[in-house]
Amino acid sequence: TIAFLNGEFMPLSEAKISPMDRGFLFGDGIYEVIPTYHGKAVGMTGHLSRMRDGLAAISITNPYNAQQWQQNLNGLIDANASHFPNGNIGVYFHISRGTDTKRYHAYPQNITPTVFGFAFEIAPSQPLEAANVKPFKVALEEDKRWQRCHIKSTSLLGNVMHFQAGVDSGVQETILHNSDGIITEASSCNVFMVKDNAIFTPPLDNQLLPGITRQIALEAFKRAGLAVEEKWFTKEDLFNADEVWLTSSSKEIAPVIEVDGKTIGSGEVGPMWEKAIKAYHNYKFEA
């Protein structure tokens, strides 16, 4: 496949970054994953605005404007289109603080950010019928990460360890709760639950990533007239929910039928999920 590195397109196998890059040494950078279907990106405005916020939070000057980011994205899609003929392409962009000559924690002055991008195949758009979607089973753990989870940091060891705990127990994701038993997000997704036909997701704060899929879904649900509220809920609420969903750029809205070995609702993909995915598909390319 073709990668993007510091303004140039090249075979991924030829893209080289110094081991003195602060992204490698400190995880000092931020990233985005943008889903595209047949050349059309979902949530580009939201992804670029979260990227801007993340860069501002860690004092890295945004190396490109919105139009240039769009060109970088299009360049990667075009260059990789023949490699992914089904047209479902995820684009990863990573901006690290750059390469230094020494390893010293403080932000060095006058180094140039490293910008890396590559394309990978994502799952096709989700089907509209519950019978055709593969539901998730997930683990549940107390969030042991840091207090800046709203920054899409490339330092992902905490997320990786939570995700692996799920894999080790034979499931595909791990939902997280804080020390008060409040659900925040999952190791690589946001969390929604349904109770009595109303949809809930935690409000945004430092405990969770402001997911772009979450944002698009919220707007899509409101437009479709579904009852939806940003509200904290507990582990117990989750176990008693009628439906639980995960959202992310690569998964869209994924139904969950089991949490920590306990069956959610009927144990099957629920009727609200069908309404939700329909609303999401109707709106996602407009967002």
End-to-end CA distance of the chain: 28
Identify the active-site residue in 152, 222, 231, 262: 152
Our finding on whether 189 is near ligand PMP (CB under 6 A) is: yes
- Choosing from 190, 238, 273, 280, the residue that interacts with ligand PMP (CB under 6 A) is 190
Per CB under 6 A, which of residues 241..260 are in contact with ligand PMP? 247-249
Q: Using CB under 6 A, pick the residue from 185, 192, 200, 269 that binds ligand PMP.
A: 185
Q: Least CB distance from residue 32 to ligand PMP, whole Å? A: 8
Q: State the minimum distance, in angstroms, from the CB of residue 82 to ligand PMP.
A: 26
Q: Nearer Cβ to ligand PMP, position 99 or 174?
A: 174
Sites for ligand PMP among residues 10-39 (CB under 6 A): 33
Whole-number Å distance between alpha carbons of 184 and 208: 6
Min separation Cβ 188 and ligand PMP, Å:
4
Please write down the long-range contacts of 3-7, taking CB distance under 8 Å and 24 or more positions apart.
3/76, 3/116, 3/117, 3/118, 4/72, 4/75, 4/76, 4/93, 4/115, 4/116, 4/117, 4/118, 5/114, 5/115, 5/116, 5/117, 6/112, 6/114, 6/115, 6/116, 7/115
Q: Bridge-partner residues for 153, per DSSP?
A: 30
222 catalytic residue (yes or no): no
What track of x and - describes contact with ligand PMP for positions 201 through 230 (by CB under 6 A)? --------x-xxxx----------------
120-159 mask for ligand PMP (x: CB under 6 A)?
Answer: ---------------------------------------x
- Strand boundaries in the chain, DSSP class E: 2-5, 8-11, 29-37, 40-41, 88-96, 114-121, 136-142, 173-177, 183-186, 190-195, 198-201, 227-230, 243-248, 252-259, 262-263
Provide the binding-site residues for ligand PMP, judged by CB under 6 A. 33, 159, 185, 188-190, 209, 211-214, 247-249
The residues annotated as belonging to the active site are 152
